[in-house]
Amino acid sequence: MLKLIKDKTSFISGVCLIVLCIILFYEASTLSPFGSVFPFAITTALISLSIILIFRSFKLEIKVINENVSSIKISLLTITFFAWIYFLERIGFILTSLIAFNLLILINSGKKIPLKKVILYVLTGSIFILLLYFGFKNLLLVPLPEGYWFRN
């Protein structure tokens, strides 16, 4: 059966969309008359399009051109990114940013960059962060997180 599907990405997308539509139909049914007009209309359109998409995936494939990605780097990046956000309010903006920022430099450099350059990046990066931190905090009056683990 799987061999019959020419466009696997479209097929999977279509199936996921149909599941989404079913959930949305259920929710729309709990809404008031005025509040449910558009949800019903758009969900109906979406489910029809998804069905067309699924049928189409059997017949032809419209290739999606994607960049090649290295899964290791992407996963590391995503985890560090998330951790950066997660610790922002806990450790405080400055500390978290300095740590995460420099970590990211290391992740992206890999093995090919000489140590001297890495140190240069770390220094300039940290200055950049500090500049923007104070700029946002004092000029733009944005209350950047202080870090409640430390606020005892």
**9 lies in the binding site for another protein (CB under 8 A):** yes
Nearer to another protein, 3 or 62 (CB): 62
Q: Is 152 a residue that touches another protein (CB under 8 A)?
A: no
Closer residue to another protein (CB): 2 or 67: 67
Residue 87 makes CB contacts below 8 A (sequence gap 6+) with 96, 100
Tell me, what DSSP letter sits at residue 138?
A: I
CB of 82 to another protein, least distance (A): 7
Choose, by CB under 8 A, the member of 15, 18, 88, 99 that binds another protein: 88
Please state the closest distance from residue 19 (CB atom) to another protein, in A: 14
- In the range 20-49, which residues lie near another protein by CB under 8 A? 24, 27, 31-39, 42-43, 45-46, 49
Long-range CB pairs of 98-105 (<8 Å, 24+ gap) are: 98/126, 98/129, 101/125, 101/126, 101/129, 102/126, 104/77, 104/80
Give the residue among 80, 95, 127, 79 at the shortest CA–CA distance from 119: 127
Residues 54 and 75: their CA atoms lie apart, in Å, by 30
Least spacing, CB of residue 98 vs another protein, in Å: 10
Nearer to another protein, 2 or 26 (CB): 26
Locate 140 and state its tokens.
């733009």
6 touching another protein, by CB under 8 A = no
Contacting another protein within 91-150 (CB under 8 A): 97, 100-102, 104-105, 108-109, 113, 121, 124-125, 127-145
Tokens of 146: 């202080």
CA 63 to chain centre: 23
